Each structure stands twice: as C-alpha cells, then as structure tokens.
Amino acid sequence: MSARRRRLRLNAFLMEAGHHEAAWRLPHSNPRADFDLQHWIELAQLAESATFDSLFLADGPALIGTGEFRPPGQLEPLTLLTVLSQATSRIGLIATVSSTYNEPYNLARRLASVDHVSGGRAGWNIVTSAGADEAANFGLDDRPGHAERYARADEFLKVAKALWDSWEREAVVADKGTGRYADPARLHRLGHRGRYFKVAGPLNVERPPQGYPLLVQAGSSEDGKDFAARHAEAVFTAHTTYERAAAFYADIKARTRAAGRDPDGIVVLPGIVPYIGSTEAEARALARQFDELRVPEYGLRQLAAVFETEPSVFDLDKPLPDAVLARPKLEGSQSRSDLITELAVREKLTVRQIISRLGGGRGHFEFVGTPEQVADTIITWFEGGAADGFNIMAPALPSGLTAFIDHVLPILRGKGLFREEYEGTTLREHYGLPVPSNQFHQTQATFQVSGA
C-alpha cells in the first residue's frame, strides 16, 4: 500500500446536449449546443468547479450519420479545447484526434501548442478512425485495415514523441549580450525514415509543459489493447457488467506490465451513463423520459452502422439475425460490435430492446438509480479492481452533470475517495502521472557561449 490513499479519477465526457441520442429534444435542451460556445464554456467551468480531473471531447473527421435525427457536426475539438483552456485554469482537456488522417508533424505541433496555451493540461485520445465515411474524406476508396491503422499509429507515436522531445529544456540560451539565441546541438533532428513517415524535425515548438500531452486510448480490440499497453496513460472503455470490466482491467494491467511498463502508469476509466433520481422510481421515470424521445429509425441505422449492414436486415421484435451473429471480424469498430453481440445474447434482447439500451451510451454502462446507488456502484468497481475512475457520460447536459456533481460527488468525497480541491495544475498531476523523460536529454552541455 502506498502511504497516499488511492483516489478516484473522474473525467467529464462532454457531448453537445448530452450523451443520450434524443437529449437535444428535452424541453430545456439547447438543440444548437454543438456550435454554441457559451454552452461548452459553461460545461467546462461546471466540471472544473467540481474538480474533475479532465473533460473529454470525442471526434471523427466526418459527418455523424445523416443529421436527420441527431446533431451531425461539431467544432474541431482542438480548437474547442483551446477556447476552453482560456475559460478554465485547472481542469485537464482531452480531445480525440485521428492518427490515420493527420501528419505527425502537424499534429504533434498542435498538441504541443494546446499544452503550452493551457499551461500543461492537454490530453490526446488517439484513435485510428474505423469509419468508411472518414476514409472517403481523405482520398481513400476504402478505409485502411485494422492492423494497418494500428501499425501506422505505432509509428506515429514514435515520431510524435521524438518531435516533442526535440527541444531540450536547456536549448534556449537567449543571451542578449552575445546574440546567441539557442544551442543548435540541443535542437534535435530526427531523420526518421519509417514505413509510413519520413520526418526530419526538429519540431518548431518548444517541448510542452507536460513533456507529452497525456496519451489516452479507447479502442478495446486486441490491437487496441496492445497499443494501449505500449503507449496509453489513460484508457476509456465501455462495459455493461462489473465482471466484464474487471476482466478488462486485469487484462490491460497485465498487458501493460508485459510491455515493460508500470501498471499504475495506465489509468482505466470505464464509461457510466447515470440516470439519477432522488428515489429509484424517479430515476426510472427520468430514463423513461429519454427513451420515449428516441426515434426508432435512428437506432436501427446506428445498429446497422456498427455491424456494417443495412437497417432492413433487422426485425425490431426479434433477436439479432444469425447473419449478423455469424459475421467474421469487422475491419471497423470490432470492440463495439462484440460488446453489443455479447449483451444481446446474454440478456436475450430483441432488436428493439438493444436499441433502447444503446440509446444513452452507445454501449457504455447505463445506470438508473439514486445517488447512493450510483456512488455504491462506482465504489464497488473502483475498490474491486474494475476501474481506476470513471468517464462520466451525462445523458443530458448540463443537467445530468449537475445532478452527478450535486448528489453523487458529496458521497464520494465523504468517503475520502475524491479530492476537495485541485492539488496540482497539470493534467498529469491530476492523474498522478510523471512528465516523461526526454529521449535526447544530455547530461553534459556541449554548447559554450562565446566569451563565457
């Protein structure tokens, strides 16, 4: 046991009017939340006022669906994080950005810049972009395969880390007297020539305050878990039962150890979609209100998209068809389709029931109950070895986040499991993770200021 008590990590996963697909239809929702800056600033300040470790924005470089039943766009997330960095001072700021559809030089630079302007609060959720619709915006007639995307991501990370390291801390001398600005020997060229990238370097941005932005990963396929074990410092994951979450947790920690890393250096955060009521009946009524606002056609299309098929193959009042169950591994979102299949078979759900269950969290853990029940569940998962913290996915925003903050957090704080105030200023400090050492660090300066 470490002398210091293990603390819960809490991430506020923000999403326009909320995580439930029909959140925008609630009477008090702002249906144009996606492009309303004030909405995002208020959410960020709300999460910061509650000392959340971080907030998180999901993303993909393509329109989301057809737009017919749900807001289909959003501000580019690093731009939005940059805005939020100026409206907050302590909360960590994590965004999803694709390693498949970006160049390492550009993205390493942008992430370093966000880390600078936020004073060390940037995090990068690395995704490899499974969608065919994304591929079609980047010159590809079909998306690259699963293994290919992860191989590229691996090399991308290697290059990005070297770019972030390319300015040693002592590189800038800025000697007004002699006119020497920097020591070129401490601005490192990479000369990287790999399978996917050739990058000369150095980066044209000083090493960011956190060394690297916090590296986050959310893919739960075999490739995804191995990638997380090699690179990730936080993992967002989706599980609908404690047993599945505990198995995943043990698996990720074991893989991380096998990759030669400290398993405490990777923070596992399952998602939870809490429907909170002061009584169980009230919580159920709240969940029902969301369910009644769903457009069934939307859910069918979403389900078809996950299984890469047409909506017409499904019958709302029957189980998943055999043709879907028998499909080979998909090149796209493997873990999401596996998770839904597992849930549907285990609980013998009809398609209609599956869609209803997925409405709020797209496969994440929906929990309907009182604040005490939500807190008990969080504590059970946390203390039982299924989570290091949680990714809080409020079904409606801001109301669901406010309910969590006002009613669940006091219980967790009362048990000493969550901070009362921020202790650090950077995202790495909040998560208890160190600044990575610089691969180019030299113990001896090679640079002599003339006349010194």
Residue numbers 187-246 binding its own copies by CB under 8 A = 187, 197-206
Question: Which of 344, 350, 370, 349 lies closest to 287, judged by CA?
Answer: 370
Q: Name residues contacting its own copies, limited to 130-169 (CB under 8 A).
A: 133, 136-141, 167
Q: Least separation, in Å, of the C-beta of 190 and its own copies?
A: 9
Question: Which of 220, 237, 222 lies closest to 361, judged by CA?
Answer: 237
Measured CA to CA, the distance from residue 310 to residue 296 in angstroms comes to 15
- Binding residue (CB under 8 A) for its own copies from 7, 25, 121, 239: 25
Q: Least separation, in Å, of the C-beta of 397 and its own copies?
A: 16
Measured CA to CA, the distance from residue 360 to residue 171 in angstroms comes to 49
Shorter beta-carbon distance to its own copies: residue 40 or 382: 40
Q: Least separation, in Å, of the C-beta of 420 and its own copies?
A: 29
Shorter beta-carbon distance to its own copies: residue 64 or 259: 64
Q: Least separation, in Å, of the C-beta of 127 and its own copies?
A: 14
Residue 376 sits at the vertex; the CA angle it makes with 375 and 382, to the nearest 5 degrees, is 90
Q: Least separation, in Å, of the C-beta of 427 and its own copies?
A: 17
Shorter beta-carbon distance to its own copies: residue 298 or 365: 298
Q: Least separation, in Å, of the C-beta of 166 and its own copies?
A: 9
Per CB under 8 A, the segment of 111-119, 234-242, 329-337, 356-364 that binds its own copies is 111-119
> Per-residue x/- mask for its own copies, residues 276 to 315, rule CB under 8 A?
-----------------x-x--x-----------------
Specify whether the CB–CB gap between 137 and 62 falls below 8 A.
yes
Q: Kindly state whether residue 451 participates in binding its own copies, applying the rule CB under 8 A.
A: no
Q: Name residues contacting its own copies, limited to 404-443 (CB under 8 A).
A: none
Q: Least separation, in Å, of the C-beta of 132 and its own copies?
A: 10
Kindly write down the DSSP assignment for every residue of 199-234, as one continuous string: E----SSPPPTTSSPEEEE---SHHHHHHHHHH-SE
Alpha helices in 166-201 (DSSP H): none
Q: Which amino acid is present at 43?
A: L
Shorter beta-carbon distance to its own copies: residue 33 or 354: 33
Q: Which helix (H) or strand (E) holds 159?
A: helix 146-165
Total residues at the site for its own copies (CB under 8 A)?
Answer: 79
Q: How many CA atoms lie within 13 A of 176 on its CB side?
A: 0
Measured CA to CA, the distance from residue 318 to residue 352 in angstroms comes to 8
Q: Kindly state whether residue 395 participates in binding its own copies, applying the rule CB under 8 A.
A: no
Measured CA to CA, the distance from residue 33 to residue 153 in angstroms comes to 32
Beta strands in 202-354 (DSSP E): 214-217, 234-237, 267-276
Measured CA to CA, the distance from residue 385 to residue 270 in angstroms comes to 12
- Binding residue (CB under 8 A) for its own copies from 114, 232, 276, 378: 114
Per CB under 8 A, the segment of 177-185, 248-256, 407-415, 436-444 that binds its own copies is 177-185
Shorter beta-carbon distance to its own copies: residue 3 or 174: 174
Shorter beta-carbon distance to its own copies: residue 17 or 266: 17
- Binding residue (CB under 8 A) for its own copies from 45, 102, 341, 353: 102
Q: Kindly state whether residue 117 participates in binding its own copies, applying the rule CB under 8 A.
A: yes
Using CB atoms within 10 A of its CB, is residue 41 exposed (0-12), middle (13-18) or buried (19+)? Answer: middle
- Please enumerate in sequence order all residues whose Cβ is within 8 A of that of 333, keeping only pairs 6 or more positions apart, or say none: 130, 306
Q: Name residues contacting its own copies, limited to 29-88 (CB under 8 A).
A: 29, 31-32, 34-35, 37, 60-64, 66-76, 78-80, 82-83, 85-87
